[in-house]
Structure 1
Amino acid sequence: MSAAQHLILLPRAIRAQDAPAYLGIDRNKFNAEVKPKLTLVVLGHRIRCYDRLDLDRIWEEIKARNGRPGADDSLEEATSWENAQPGSAKRRTGHGSSTRLSSDSAFSNALDRAIAKSQKHT
């Protein structure tokens, strides 16, 4: 097989409906911040496209304006969320885990009250 048989071509034209997904942003953000900077190309009666290179250029502008070198988003988001929580335990729990620690005796007392209450009504 020759190298040409393994060549993957990226389309130059990105359909208008696919442009927000190409940049990884939602349609509202795209319409507000990106679309005004683009030239819409109409092919035929219905096909509306943007030039992929224009989309890439705008992405580079957004990245230069908003990017932070070496930022670890997951750590930053978790830390800011935990700091915003009143009385945060500052520890991670798994899905379905309680953040409040209760003793076995507290659970036992609550269970006893619930059983006693249900027995009164029977």
Structure 2
Amino acid sequence: MPPGGDPADDEVWLDDAAGRLVRPYTVTAGRTRPSVELGLLSLVVAAERPPPGVDPEYARALDLCRTPTSVAEVAAQLRLPVVVTKVVLSDLLDRRAMTTQATHIAADPTDRALLEKLLDGLQRA
């Protein structure tokens, strides 16, 4: 700290060149297991009335999810590992600040013709 500088100036948590200066797992207090099972393609959407006084990452997740958004997209936008993002989202789901929406499968996963094409493509790769 420069002489006569303010100690609060030392509390920089984001550096443009270095990125986030707080370890991702401090966001979740070290928790690595979400309380709700979420897949990468699970869609989440913020509730109409978000809870007051949430941490910055939680508030940002709510802002990102004004429309249905996948877990993968939220993780990318927050620049957090997927497992940390899942914990954040599950915390918001537990607080009823967010809901999940069912994802629709575009094709029947038991369609024999589709499975044969998939197997054929995998064997060629």
Question: Is TM-score (shorter-chain normalized) higher than 0.5?
Answer: no
Q: Whose RCO is larger (CA < 8 A, sep 6+)?
A: 2
Greater Rg over alpha carbons, structure: 1
With the shorter chain as reference, the TM-score category is: under 0.3
Query: Normalization by structure 1: what TM-score?
Result: 0.24
